[in-house]
Amino acid sequence: MAKKREVRMPENWNDHAGWNAYYESKLKRPKRDPWDLETGTIGAEQLPQLAEDLKSRGWRAVWVPGCGLSPLARLLAHFGLQAVATDVSPVAIQFQRSKAGEFADLMGRLGPADPAGSFAAELHDFRTEFRPEAFDLIINVKAFQAFPVEDMVRIAGVQAEALLKGRYAYFDTMNVQGERRDQLEQALQDGGFVVPLLALNRWHRQELHKTNIPHMFVLGQPMIPRTGEYASDDLKWDHDMARLREISTEYRSCLQAQQEAEQERIGPDAKVAHVIYSTG
């Protein structure tokens, strides 16, 4: 009997039916993938401390847009936060509402429950308005980067509007490189967020681009992949890496000099977007 082909994540992120089919396919697997229990770059083991830090400030309301099948919102509620998970897929929302038991072992390993926490899951297209000025924190895990630019601006606007003044959002991304980083950060800025060090980070990427040296960012540092002409030519790799490091050294010097001025620019009422760039 031929093996049924697995449904892939839709290439068009506005394809609502595609997301439904994708999650249905994942849930039909005889065994869940280990990464279905992942919570993004902010790992599950870091969530108890994150929750304590937020509660110490009096921040409790957290929105996880584009939640999919992730345990993130459930875990945040477990640790005493008022977590709201949303997704455009009815399959994902039904899972979030009815399958809390799937996360019980993970919750137990991470620590005892705080009874002050609460959890809600709602169907929502996050290009449309959602609870203006209701949240202390937004954690968007890989649910932003692949939309068309005009939709990213709209989504950023909705999420900035949902955030209280002086609060912040994490946009956790995967394999976003080059010009796409500029587009993503500009969309956040145009949507109403303040993106720390936007101009300096863009300058850094542009200066690296001018070298015409192929590179990608790994853990925040430019790195030349060991492919093509760099696969066996160690001298060229060392020479070109030195050029990239020289630019990055200048960037770090500017970064240190601009920190105080950047804090003044942001101000106490800004809605700040922190972008996490991960590779994998």
Q: What are the tens digits of pLDDT across the range 251-266?
A: 999 999 998 888 888 9
Q: Which of 28-42, 89-103, 107-121, 122-136 has the lowest mean pLDDT?
A: 28-42
Phi, psi angles (nearest 5°) of residue 253: -65, -45
Mind listing the pLDDT tens digit for each residue in 139-157? 999 999 999 999 999 999 9
Question: pLDDT at residue 2 above 60?
Answer: no
**C-alpha gyration radius of the chain:** 21
pLDDT band at 3 (very low <50, low <70, confident <90, very high): low
Mind listing the pLDDT tens digit for each residue in 39-69? 999 999 999 999 999 999 999 999 999 999 9
Average pLDDT, the chain: 93
First-residue to last-residue Cα distance in the chain: 34
The reported pLDDT for the residue numbered 29 is: 84
Mind listing the pLDDT tens digit for each residue in 172-207? 999 998 899 999 999 999 999 999 999 999 999 999
The reported pLDDT for the residue numbered 1 is: 44
The reported pLDDT for the residue numbered 214 is: 96
**Residues 120-128: what's their mean pLDDT?**
97
Q: Report how far residue 272's alpha carbon sits from residue 280's, in angstroms, rounded to the nearest whole number.
A: 26
Q: Report how far residue 98's alpha carbon sits from residue 123's, in angstroms, rounded to the nearest whole number.
A: 14
Task: Give one DSSP letter per residue of the chain, joined into a string.
Answer: -PPPPPPPPPSSTT-HHHHHHHHHHHHTSSS--GGGG--SSS-GGGHHHHHHHHHHTT--EEEEES-TT-SHHHHHHHTT-EEEEEES-HHHHHHHHH-GGGGHHHHHHH----TT-EEEEEE--TTS---TT-EEEEEEESSSTTS-HHHHHHHHHHHHHHEEEEEEEEEEEES--THHHHHHHHHHHHTT-B-TTHHHHHHHHHHHHHTT---EEETTEEE--S-GGGTT-HHHHHHHHHHHHHHHHHHHHHHHHHHHHHHHHH-TT--EEEEEEE--
**Residues 64-77: what's their mean pLDDT?**
96
